[in-house]
Amino acid sequence: MTDHPDLFGLAADVPAPKPLYPANLPEDWKAALHDEFAAPYFYALKDFLVEERREQTIYPPAPDVFNALRYTPLGNVKVMILGQDPYHGPGQAHGLSFSVRPGVRIPPSLRNIYKELTDDIPGFVAPRHGYLRSWADQGVLLLNAVLTVRAGQANSHQGKGWEQFTDAVISAVNAQPERVVFILWGSYARKKKKLITGKQHVIIESGHPSPLSEKLFFGTRPFSQANAALEQAGRTPVQWQLPEQVSEEG
Q: Which are the catalytic amino acids?
A: 85
19 neighbors 38 (Cβ within 8 angstroms) = yes
Distance, in Å, from the CA atom of 163 to the CA atom of 187, rounded to the nearest integer, reads 15
The burial class, CB within 10 Å (0-12 / 13-18 / 19+), for 244 is exposed
Closest CA to 113 of 244, 240, 249, 246: 240
Distance CA 57, CA 59 (A): 7
Residues linked to residue 11 through DSSP beta bridges, in sequence order:
5
CA nearest neighbour of 76 among 210, 149, 172 = 172
